[in-house]
């Protein structure tokens, strides 16, 4: 399944670029179809502007600068500036402290109101899906953003396969709990394990992506290997990392940041320039690696046309 995003989410408003545009449609379909194996074989190092790294990045990411309305962030920026509190609270901690983490083998437990619950091997989850490059902007609640070429597939594909029942109103996700490999899980900085949640219609939305890679290469540990979520119209912390449990529930789950500080963080956490964080405005953001916080934040991170119907009639000042 190839997502052809509506024009509204193209460069001008949302600043994502459908992969077809920069890859050329034919090459995109080929790469997407062949998946990671091809990419690893055909990989070449990228020019300096993408950044030095150990992994080889596929050639389709060359010269993106000129073809994109928005510059991609470098592999280096994406993989050395992370909020992943299981590995530390400083942005540099996850890349430094995640070396011991073992993302293979990986099993995801699917539970709750579904016809096909069970422990799914990650390989089995990935076998039937079509992987895609999806360039989204990650808007952190801390008012910075990056443009990142994720590699993954729509969460909806997995959900359809496990057949949720009528009682499934929300999806609850859990990060793995491995204090011996995730040093900060030994601290009480946040309640562990990390929990996130989506309403069923949000989870089924074609923009909601389960991610296994970045820049066409395997997801590094610090970015949430081997499986993480990306919901481009929500603040970054909704994109739960290293997922081991997906539960279909009736009640709205309490997500970790809401648990930790319900005054400042809510369940929905939609990017909204009109609703400020108590400590800073959300009207502007710093597009890294820029120094200036002068980039205007767009409603739903630029995906208003695709997702605003999900929240019709809701007071978004109240439902933070």
Partner 1 sequence: MAMPRKSLTFTQAWTFTAGSKLHSSIGSNIVIQKHQILVCKVGIWIAALSPGSWLVAGLFLGWLGPNPVETLTHITGMTTLVLLLVTLSITPLRRITGWNGAIRLRRPLGLFAFFYALVHFNIWFVFDQVFNWRWMVEDIIERPYITVGFSAFVILVPLALTSTKGWMRRLGVRWTKLHRGIYLAATLGVVHFYWLANSKADVRLPLLLALCLSVLLLYRVPGWLERRRRMIARSQGRNIR
Nearer to partner 1, 89 or 165 (CB): 89
Q: Are 137 and 303 in contact (CB under 8 A)?
A: no
Minimum CB separation of residue 305 from partner 1 in Å reads: 28
Counting Cβ atoms within 10 Å, is residue 194 exposed (0-12), middle (13-18) or buried (19+)? buried
Q: Please, which residue, 166 or 278, has the CB nearer to partner 1?
A: 278
CB closer to partner 1 out of 114 and 190: 190
Residue 265 beta carbon to partner 1: minimum distance, rounded to whole angstroms: 9
CB of 278 to partner 1, least distance (A): 7
- Residues contacting residue 219 through CB under 8 Å, at least 6 positions apart: 103, 151, 211, 212, 213, 225, 226, 227, 228
Q: How far apart are CA 246 and CA 117, in angstroms?
A: 10
Please identify, using beta-carbon distances, which residue of 88 and 103 lies nearer to partner 1.
88
Tell me how far apart the alpha carbons of residues 308 and 245 are, in angstroms, rounded to a whole number: 28
> Closest separation between CB of residue 177 and partner 1, Å?
17
CA 214 to chain centre: 10
| CB nearer to partner 1: pick between 82 and 270 | 82
| Selection from 198, 214, 229 nearest residue 132 by Cα | 214
Give the integer Cα–Cα distance in Å for 317 and 311.
12
Residues found near partner 1 in the complex (CB under 8 A): 73-74, 76-77, 80-81, 85, 89, 91-92, 142, 144, 146, 189-190, 257, 260-261, 264, 276-281, 286, 288-289, 291-294
């Amino acid at each position: 399944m190839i997502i052809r995003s509506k024009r509204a989410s193209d460069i001008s408003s949302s600043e994502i670029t459908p992969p077809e545009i920069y890859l050329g449609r034919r090459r995109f379909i080929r790469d997407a179809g062949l998946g990671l194996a091809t990419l690893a074989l055909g990989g070449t190092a990228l020019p300096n502007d993408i950044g030095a790294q150990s992994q080889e990045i596929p050639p389709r990411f060359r010269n993106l600068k000129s073809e994109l309305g928005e510059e991609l962030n470098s592999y280096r920026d994406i993989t050395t500036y992370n909020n992943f509190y299981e590995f530390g609270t400083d942005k540099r901690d996850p890349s430094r402290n995640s070396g011991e983490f073992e993302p293979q083998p990986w099993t995801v437990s699917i539970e709750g109101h579904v016809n096909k619950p069970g422990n799914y091997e990650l390989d089995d989850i990935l076998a039937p899906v079509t992987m895609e490059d999806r360039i989204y902007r990650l808007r952190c609640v801390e008012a910075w953003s990056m443009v990142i070429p994720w590699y993954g597939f729509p969460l909806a594909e997995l959900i359809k396969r496990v057949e949720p029942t009528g009682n499934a109103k929300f999806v609850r996700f859990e990060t793995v709990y491995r204090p011996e490999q995730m040093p900060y899980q030994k601290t009480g900085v946040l309640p562990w394990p990390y929990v996130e949640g989506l309403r069923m219609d949000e989870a089924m939305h074609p923009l909601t992506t389960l991610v296994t890679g970045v820049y066409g290469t395997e997801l590094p540990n610090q970015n949430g290997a081997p499986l993480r979520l990306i919901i481009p119209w929500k603040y970054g912390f909704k994109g739960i990392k290293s997922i081991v449990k997906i539960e279909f529930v009736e009640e709205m789950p309490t997500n970790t940041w809401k648990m930790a500080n319900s005054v400042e963080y809510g369940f929905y956490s939609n990017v909204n320039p009109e609703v400020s964080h108590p400590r800073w405005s959300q009207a502007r953001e710093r597009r890294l690696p820029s120094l200036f916080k002068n980039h205007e934040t767009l409603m739903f991170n630029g995906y208003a046309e695709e997702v605003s119907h999900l929240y019709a009639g809701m007071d978004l000042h109240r439902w933070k």
